[in-house]
């Protein structure tokens, strides 16, 4: 039997390079847009920011995730958007966040210890995904968008 596409959920992970400095104003504006949009679309995930790059996990209904990903790719605030991982899912990893934010700092002891030479452009998709999960588990500062 054909599964209706609206019931297919996916998880997508990409990495990108920030264009210009990653200011608080820029991050706040990205999160505000994510908050407003993702909630209406049933999209959840986490945005990691640091060291001149972003990586982001987006989960939700397949066509909605694709539409959002196309918009994000076209956003001039970053470039070199590389798709690292894409899968169909039964369960979400980040279901409670319309978009959590994790700041990655070079000086962060956890990042140094567990991922000393972490470079998302040379890491594999599963490695970066694990990094995101480690950060969340380690209780890194996560700023929840106000709902
Ligand atoms: C790194 C990054 C992550 C983003 N994440 C999201 C997101 O999760 N949800 C969202 O709606 N917009 C996100 N945006 C913003 C979109 O790229 C876009 O600006 C926004 O959806 C408004 O699109 P529009 O001007 O075509 O309406 C992100 C932008 C960047 C640079």
Provide the pLDDT for residue 49: 86
Å from CA of 41 to ligand 1 middle: 13
DSSP, collapsed to helix, strand or coil, labels residue 73 as helix
53: part of which helix (H) or strand (E)? Answer: strand 53-61
Query: Are the C-beta atoms of 125 and 13 separated by less than 8 Å?
Result: yes
Give residue-wise pLDDT tens across range 98-142. 998 887 765 555 555 555 566 778 888 898 888 888 877 775 555
Give residue-wise pLDDT tens across range 15-31. 999 998 888 888 889 99
Domains of the chain (ranges; CATH) run 5-137 (3.30.70.100)
Binding-site residues, ligand 1, Cβ < 6 A: 30, 33-34, 37-38, 47, 54, 56, 68, 71-72, 75, 77-78, 99
What is the atom index within ligand 1 of the atom nearest the CA of 77?
31
Nearest residue (by CA) to ligand 1, atom 24, is 71
């Amino acid at each position: 039997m054909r599964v209706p596409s609206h019931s297919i959920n996916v998880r997508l992970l990409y990495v990108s390079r920030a264009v210009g400095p990653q200011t608080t104003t820029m991050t706040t504006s990205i999160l505000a847009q994510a908050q407003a949009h993702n909630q209406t679309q049933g999209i959840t995930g986490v945005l990691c920011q640091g060291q001149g790059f972003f990586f982001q996990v987006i989960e939700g209904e397949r066509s909605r995730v694709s539409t959002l990903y196309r918009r994000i790719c076209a956003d001039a605030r970053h470039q070199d958007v590389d798709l690292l991982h894409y899968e169909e899912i039964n369960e979400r990893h980040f279901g409670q966040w319309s978009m959590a934010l994790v700041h990655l700092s070079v000086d962060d002891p956890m990042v140094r210890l567990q991922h000393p030479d972490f470079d998302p452009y040379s890491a594999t998709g599963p490695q970066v995904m694990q990094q995101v999960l480690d950060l969340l588990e380690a209780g890194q500062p996560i700023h929840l968008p106000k709902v």
